[in-house]
Amino acid sequence: MKTNVMLLALIAALVAVSSARELQQAATTGRVTFFDNGDYSGGGQAFEANVPATGCGDCKNLNFVRTNSWESYTSNAGTTLHLYDGHFCTGKDSGELPAKQGKIQGSLSDSVDSFRICA
């Protein structure tokens, strides 16, 4: 009986340590700012999104009523970004873009409607 209690206490301690590590690796919030011009100027608008410890964060839907004309972006988090021309990360995908900053190429320069930040 005493051995079972000690075993349960050991398991509880291991679970507590594991939970603490998961909290340390929890997602943070990053910010992506989109700009009207290709040189990171013009009417910019910033959006926040989750950045996980690994992989890609949840889709950030931008809820546009009309088409935008963003041509560049900057970000303060993550390693890469994925831009999409459809709501809820659907449609044309930019593929992996460098998260720090970049120019939005092709048809996406007229219609980024959602994005993900990846670790």
Q: Using CA atoms, how far apart are residues 64 and 29, in angstroms rounded to an integer?
A: 21
**Number of domains into which the chain is organized:** 1
Examine the pLDDT at 9 and tell me if it is beyond 60.
no
Examine the pLDDT at 10 and tell me if it is beyond 80.
no
Q: Are 80 and 65 in contact (CB under 8 A)?
A: no
Q: In what order do the strands lie in the sheet with 72-75?
A: 45-51, 28-35, 72-75, 101-103
Examine the pLDDT at 4 and tell me if it is beyond 60.
no
Tell me, yes or no, whether 7 lies in a domain.
no
Burial of 74 (0-12, 13-18, 19+ CB in 10 A): middle
Domain that holds residue 76: 26-118
How far does Cα 69 stand from its chain's mean position? 21
Tell me, yes or no, whether 37 lies in a domain.
yes
Q: What is the pLDDT of residues 78-94, one digit of tens each?
A: 999 999 999 999 999 99
- Assign 98 a pLDDT band (cuts: 50, 70, 90): very high
Domain of residue 50, CATH code: 2.60.20.10
Instruction: Retrieve residue 107's tokens.
Output: 């048809």
Tell me, yes or no, whether 80 lies in a domain.
yes
Q: What is the pLDDT of residues 14-72, one digit of tens each?
A: 444 444 444 445 689 999 999 999 999 998 899 999 999 999 999 999 986 566 789 99
> What pTM was estimated for this model as a whole?
0.75
Tell me, yes or no, whether 36 lies in a domain.
yes
